[in-house]
Amino acid sequence: MALTPTDIHNKTFNTKFRGYDEDEVNGFLEQLMKDYENVLKKNEELEKTVSDNEVKITHFNLIEETMQKSILIAQEAAEDVRKNAIQESKLIISEAEKNADRLVNDALAQARKIALEVEVLKKQSKVFKSRFKMMVEAQLDMINTEDWDDLLKYELDTSSVESAAEQELDIPNVDSLDEELVTKTKEA
């Protein structure tokens, strides 16, 4: 069992002949008692400080643990956000690629359709041109035939027909109509 300052104060020694000076021993014990009392007080203060520090350390350990958990949760949340962002960006890119492919395919289909229409129109134009050429050539051939020359050479005695027509319809002479038409044209 540890000594207390009271134990030191109450300690008595037997006296013997030629022993220590009693006043000197009592003074030393008194000083020892005070010093020991101070040491015990300081020890109590240190124990209280250690106890307080242990409470603080426990508190700080809890804070540290909480912060580590918070950091871990924040890291996991950041990782989830990053993964979601990557996944969403992949979906957006995939959708954009699909739309781009669809637009390109639509444009190619439209271009093919227009190219086919152009080819059809070219063929129709060639057919029309050849038919028109054939028709014009046929008309030219018809104009260049001898029948036209023969027709133009043929003279019909129209005097009897003209006089009969004039009498019936009271129509003026064709030559006079021609002259009248030429006169009006010159006036205009």
- The answer to whether the beta carbons of residues 30 and 18 sit under 8 Å apart is no
Note if the pTM is more than 0.75.
no
The Cα 36–Cα 28 span in angstroms is: 12
pLDDT at 30 over 80: yes
Q: 115-168, pLDDT tens digit by residue?
A: 999 999 999 999 999 999 999 998 888 888 777 677 667 666 666 666 666 666
Mean pLDDT of the chain: 84
Reported as type and span, the H/E element at residue 20 is none
- Counting runs of H as helices and runs of E as strands, what totals does the chain give? 5, 0
The Cα 48–Cα 46 span in angstroms is: 5
Percentage of the chain beyond pLDDT 70 is 79
Q: 53-84, pLDDT tens digit by residue?
A: 999 999 999 999 999 999 999 999 999 999 99
The Cα 151–Cα 143 span in angstroms is: 11
| pLDDT attached to residue 171 | 52
Tokens 């350990």 map to which residue? 61
3 or 176, higher pLDDT: 3
